[in-house]
Amino acid sequence: MSEDGIERAIGRFGRYQTWVLVLITIGRLPAEFQLTNVVFLLPKTDYTCLDEGAQNATNFCPCQNPEFDTSTIVTSITSDFQLICNKKSLSSLSQSILQVGIAAGSLFYGFVSDRYGRRIAVLLALFSNAVFGALSSFSTQLWMFIVFRFLSGSALGGTMLCCFVLLIELSGKSFRPYCMGLSEIAYILGYFLQPIIAYYVREWRHLQLVTCTPWLIVVVYYWLLPESPRWLITVGKKKEAVAVLTHIAKKNNRPVENIEAIVDQIEEESVPKDPQQRTGSYTDLFKTPRIRLYSIITPFVWASCSVTFFGINQYIGRLGGNLYLNVMISAAILAPTPVFIVITALYLRRKVSVITCFSITAVALLIFLVVPKNLETVILVFAMIGQFGAFGAFISTYLFTTEIFPTVIRNSAMGMCSTFGRIGGFVAPFVVNIGLEWVSILIFSVLAFGAAALCWLLPETNDIILFNSIEQAESSHNKKNGDSVK
Would the pLDDT of 348 be above 80?
A: no
Q: What is the mean pLDDT of residues 307-319?
A: 72
Name the nearest CA neighbour of 472 among 235, 283, 271.
271
Tens digit of pLDDT for each residue in 139-153?
999 999 999 999 999
Helix (H) or strand (E) segment spanning residue 167:
helix 142-169
Grouping H, G, I as helix, E, B as strand and the rest as coil, residue 41 is helix
Looking at residue 142, its pLDDT comes to 94
Catalogue the E-assigned strands of 412-452: none
Would the pLDDT of 413 be above 50?
A: yes
Name the nearest CA neighbour of 150 among 108, 89, 211, 117.
108
Question: What letter would DSSP give residue 33?
Answer: H
Of all residues in the chain, what percent carry a pLDDT higher than 70?
93
Would the pLDDT of 68 be above 50?
A: yes
Helix (H) or strand (E) segment spanning residue 443:
helix 437-455
Would the pLDDT of 102 be above 50?
A: yes
- How many whole angstroms separate alpha carbon 188 and alpha carbon 335? 6
Q: What is the mean pLDDT of residues 79-84?
A: 90
Cα torsion through 273, 279, 285, 288, rounded to 10: -10
Looking at residue 416, its pLDDT comes to 87
Please check whether residue 216 is in contact with residue 130, taking contact to mean a CB–CB distance below 8 angstroms. Answer: yes
CA atoms within 13 A on the CB side of 97: 18
Confidence of residue 234 (pLDDT cuts 50, 70, 90): confident
- How many whole angstroms separate alpha carbon 448 and alpha carbon 397? 13
Looking at residue 52, its pLDDT comes to 83
Of all residues in the chain, what percent carry a pLDDT higher than 90?
34
Residue type present at position 129: N
Looking at residue 320, its pLDDT comes to 53
- How many whole angstroms separate alpha carbon 137 and alpha carbon 34? 12
Confidence of residue 271 (pLDDT cuts 50, 70, 90): low
Q: Which fold has domain 1-225?
A: Growth Hormone; Chain: A; (1.20.1250)
- Between 380 and 442, residue with greater pLDDT: 442
- Residue 453: CB atoms within 10 A of its CB come to 13
- How many whole angstroms separate alpha carbon 270 and alpha carbon 288? 17
**Residue 413, φ and ψ in degrees, nearest 5:** -65, -45
**Degrees (nearest 5) of the Cα angle 35, 167, 192?**
30
- Between 49 and 283, residue with greater pLDDT: 49
163 CB-near residues (< 8 Å, 6+ apart): 24, 27, 28, 122, 125, 126, 183
For the whole model, what pTM was predicted?
0.79
Q: What is the mean pLDDT of residues 77-104?
A: 86
Domain(s) labelled CATH 1.20.1250.20 in the chain stretch across 1-225, 280-486
- Residue 158: CB atoms within 10 A of its CB come to 31
- How many whole angstroms separate alpha carbon 146 and alpha carbon 386? 31
Annotate 252-309 with DSSP letters as a single string.
Answer: TT---TTHHHHHHHHHHHHS-SSGGGGS--GGGGGTSHHHHHHHHHHHHHHHHHHHHH
- Between 406 and 226, residue with greater pLDDT: 226
Q: Compute the mean pLDDT over every residue in the chain, rounded to the nearest whole number.
A: 85
Which of 91-95, 194-198, 328-332 is predicted most confidently?
194-198
End-to-end C-alpha distance for the chain, whole angstroms? 12
Q: What is the mean pLDDT of residues 379-388?
A: 81
Looking at residue 318, its pLDDT comes to 56
Please check whether residue 405 is in contact with residue 413, taking contact to mean a CB–CB distance below 8 angstroms. Answer: yes
Annotate 87-133 with DSSP letters as a single string.
Answer: GHHHHHHHHHHHHHHHHHHHHHHHHHHHHH-HHHHHHHHHHHHHHHH
CA atoms within 13 A on the CB side of 271: 20
Looking at residue 272, its pLDDT comes to 58
Name the nearest CA neighbour of 209 among 139, 123, 144.
139
Q: Which fold has domain 280-486?
A: Growth Hormone; Chain: A; (1.20.1250)
Looking at residue 486, its pLDDT comes to 32
Confidence of residue 481 (pLDDT cuts 50, 70, 90): very low
Please check whether residue 66 is in contact with residue 50, taking contact to mean a CB–CB distance below 8 angstroms. Answer: yes
Please check whether residue 180 is in contact with residue 399, taking contact to mean a CB–CB distance below 8 angstroms. Answer: yes
Looking at residue 360, its pLDDT comes to 92
Q: 485: alpha, beta or left, given left = phi > 0 and alpha = psi -120 to 50? A: beta
Looking at residue 130, its pLDDT comes to 95
Lowest mean pLDDT among 144-148, 208-212, 213-217, 284-288: 284-288
Would the pLDDT of 435 be above 70?
A: no
Q: What is the mean pLDDT of residues 315-339?
A: 74
Would the pLDDT of 157 be above 60?
A: yes
Tens digit of pLDDT for each residue in 241-262?
999 999 999 999 998 888 999 8
Looking at residue 1, its pLDDT comes to 45
Would the pLDDT of 477 be above 60?
A: no
- How many whole angstroms separate alpha carbon 247 and alpha carbon 351? 35
Confidence of residue 315 (pLDDT cuts 50, 70, 90): low
